[in-house]
């Protein structure tokens, strides 16, 4: 079989999946929408509930902080109650806390309910990839492509839906998530089969012990600083843009599409041509430049929109390469390595939004972007200094990555 024929067959296999795979993939799209959903309505929530920008940014902090901390126990939970039960528990919590957020009358209440939403998100997301890989037709390459496509689609649609529904009311996006997640919950309940999985209980301390591995510690620490830059760009930018909900939604829809394109197509192509550590260091330098320009031109809405979309292109490359590096860096079970890494990186994301708002009020709208630029440069420096511990990720291209590249670009390489 020629490589082009193989690629065509692989592409077809991505779309010929069992119903349970599509059910989980749809739920993934909706779950990832939650990351950017509140972006377009941050100014509206601040105005409607008489909240300060710092209080409003805590909607991201509570969500990401609990998501990160909960990641430390998700592998322990799923190894005891099973993947389907974990998926449904996570989806059920998201539905519940999204509804409570929509019905809230104060920003403090929403901050608390977003924390519960983060718990549900951690339980679902940590289990979804393993479920798709285990049930997908076409091998792990097709499964990874499908998962990355769901991630990119969710990140792109979240701000757009938030903008559309936010034009009606700041409560609209929360009700939208309730409806979509309820559909996802029913789909998973009906279509995902309980397999005769053999459950091997994972110790509660496994993710913490995994962080003692030098390679994982380097990547997790680098991800912590990288996520400061990521979430300053995502969570702070709606304020200096000065747009309404729809304008913010369209801006971050463009950002999400850019992120999806590079995460699914560009990152695998680059990884076939150069070491992963080189890709990450180069991308982080370019991202720092982009954030520096955003700070310098923050008074120009057109320039800031351009920097946001360019940032999406760079973030897509970084997300995919960094995540794949974590999966290949150690001999730890992937669920454990992912939990440990995610717990640390989400802490950076949790700290970034209120930090940006405080810097804005203490200095100017430019300073948060300068701090974000420094943070991503620190991330690149950590990878440079820790390169000796990362020889494994540069030594070979992961099978999953090769298969994903074959699916997407065939003979183009």
Rounded to whole angstroms, the Cα distance separating 158 from 138 reads 29
Please tell me the predicted confidence (pLDDT) of residue 404.
Answer: 41
Please tell me the predicted confidence (pLDDT) of residue 113.
Answer: 93
Q: ∠306-307-308 over CA atoms, to 5°? A: 90
Given a cut of 90, whether residue 132 has pLDDT beyond it is no
Between 229 and 148, the higher pLDDT residue = 229
Query: What's the rounded mean pLDDT across residues 140-147?
Result: 64
Given a cut of 90, whether residue 225 has pLDDT beyond it is yes
Between 223 and 206, the higher pLDDT residue = 223
Rounded to whole angstroms, the Cα distance separating 45 from 39 reads 10
Please tell me the predicted confidence (pLDDT) of residue 209.
Answer: 87
Rounded to whole angstroms, the Cα distance separating 236 from 248 reads 11
Please tell me the predicted confidence (pLDDT) of residue 243.
Answer: 87
The answer to whether 215 and 330 are in contact (CB under 8 A) is: yes
Residues 6+ apart with CB under 8 A from 63: 34, 114, 115, 117, 118, 121
3-class secondary structure, 204: coil
Given a cut of 90, whether residue 222 has pLDDT beyond it is yes
- What does each C-alpha distance from 376 to 29, 36, 116, 193, 260 come to in angstroms? 27, 20, 29, 42, 20
For 151-207, what is each residue's pLDDT tens digit?
Answer: 778 877 888 888 888 888 888 888 988 888 888 888 888 887 766 556 677 788 888
Residues 6+ apart with CB under 8 A from 388: none
Candidate ranges 99-108, 297-306, 334-343, 389-398; pick with highest mean pLDDT? 297-306
213: which DSSP letter? S
Please tell me the predicted confidence (pLDDT) of residue 158.
Answer: 84
Confidence of residue 298 (pLDDT cuts 50, 70, 90): very high
Residues 6+ apart with CB under 8 A from 221: 344, 382
Which residue, among 218, 234, 217, 219, has the nearest Cα to 372 in the 3D structure?
234
170: which DSSP letter? T
Strand segments (E) across 224-276: none
Instruction: Give the side-chain half-sphere CA count within 13 A for 339.
Output: 32
The secondary structure of 144-157 as a DSSP string is HHHHHHHHHHHHHH
The answer to whether 117 and 34 are in contact (CB under 8 A) is: yes
As given in the structure block, the two tokens for residue 366 are: 């430019």
Tell me the angle at which helices 19-36 and 107-135 cross, rounded to the nearest 10 degrees.
150
Q: Please state, rounded to an integer, the average pLDDT across all residues of the chain.
A: 83
Confidence of residue 395 (pLDDT cuts 50, 70, 90): low
Rounded to whole angstroms, the Cα distance separating 355 from 58 reads 10
Please tell me the predicted confidence (pLDDT) of residue 10.
Answer: 44
Confidence of residue 144 (pLDDT cuts 50, 70, 90): low
Confidence of residue 295 (pLDDT cuts 50, 70, 90): very high
For 251-261, what is each residue's pLDDT tens digit?
Answer: 988 998 898 88
Between 387 and 284, the higher pLDDT residue = 284
Please tell me the predicted confidence (pLDDT) of residue 12.
Answer: 45
Query: What's the rounded mean pLDDT across residues 335-359?
Result: 87
Is the CA virtual torsion 161, 163, 165, 170 positive or negative?
positive
Between 399 and 219, the higher pLDDT residue = 219
- What does each C-alpha distance from 298 to 1, 294, 374 come to in angstroms? 53, 5, 17
- Alpha-helical segments (H) within 37-104: 42-48, 53-81, 83-102
For 64-94, what is each residue's pLDDT tens digit?
Answer: 899 889 988 888 888 888 888 888 999 999 9
Residues 6+ apart with CB under 8 A from 31: 94, 121, 124, 125, 128, 154, 181, 184
For 237-281, what is each residue's pLDDT tens digit?
Answer: 999 998 888 898 899 889 988 988 888 789 888 988 899 999 999
Please tell me the predicted confidence (pLDDT) of residue 379.
Answer: 97
Candidate ranges 40-54, 224-238, 247-261; pick with highest mean pLDDT? 224-238
Q: ∠266-267-271 over CA atoms, to 5°? A: 120
The answer to whether 398 and 298 are in contact (CB under 8 A) is: no
For 5-20, what is each residue's pLDDT tens digit?
Answer: 444 444 445 567 777 7
């Amino acid at each position: 079989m020629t490589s082009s024929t193989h690629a065509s067959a692989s592409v077809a296999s991505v779309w010929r999946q069992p119903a349970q795979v599509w059910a989980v993939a749809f739920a993934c799209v909706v779950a990832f929408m939650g990351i950017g959903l509140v972006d377009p309505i941050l100014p509206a929530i601040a105005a409607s509930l008489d909240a300060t920008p710092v209080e409003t940014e805590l909607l991201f902090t509570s969500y990401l902080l609990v998501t990160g901390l909960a990641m430390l126990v998700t592998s322990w939970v799923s190894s005891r109650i099973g993947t389907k039960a974990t998926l449904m528990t996570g989806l059920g919590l998201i539905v519940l806390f999204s509804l409570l957020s929509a019905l809230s009358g104060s920003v403090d209440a929403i901050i608390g309910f977003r924390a519960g939403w983060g718990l549900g998100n951690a339980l679902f997301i940590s289990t979804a990839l393993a479920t798709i890989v285990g049930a997908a037709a076409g091998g792990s390459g097709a499964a990874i492509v499908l998962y990355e496509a769901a991630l990119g689609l969710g990140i792109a649609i979240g701000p757009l839906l938030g903008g559309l529904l936010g034009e009606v009311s700041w409560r609209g996006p929360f009700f939208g998530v309730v409806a979509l997640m309820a559909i996802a919950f029913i789909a998973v309940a009906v279509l995902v089969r309980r397999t005769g999985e053999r459950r091997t209980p994972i110790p509660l301390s496994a993710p913490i012990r995994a962080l003692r591995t030098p390679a994982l510690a380097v990547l997790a620490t680098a991800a912590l600083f990288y996520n400061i830059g990521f979430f300053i760009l995502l969570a702070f930018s709606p304020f200096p843009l000065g747009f309404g909900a729809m304008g913010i939604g369209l801006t971050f829809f463009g950002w999400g599409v850019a992120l999806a394109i590079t995460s699914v197509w560009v990152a695998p192509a680059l990884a076939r041509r150069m070491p992963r550590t080189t890709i990450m260091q180069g991308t982080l330098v370019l991202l720092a430049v982009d954030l520096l320009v955003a700070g310098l031109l923050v008074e120009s809405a057109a320039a800031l929109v351009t920097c946001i979309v360019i940032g999406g292109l760079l973030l897509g490359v970084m997300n995919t390469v960094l995540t794949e590096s974590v999966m290949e860096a150690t001999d730890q079970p992937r669920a454990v390595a992912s939990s440990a890494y995610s717990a640390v990186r989400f802490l950076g994301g949790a700290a970034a939004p209120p930090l940006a708002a405080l810097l804005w009020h203490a200095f100017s709208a430019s300073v948060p972007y300068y701090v974000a630029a420094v943070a991503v440069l620190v991330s690149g420096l950590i990878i440079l200094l820790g390169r000796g511990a990362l020889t494994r990720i540069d030594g070979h291209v992961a099978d999953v990555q090769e298969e994903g590249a074959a699916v997407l670009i065939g003979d183009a390489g």
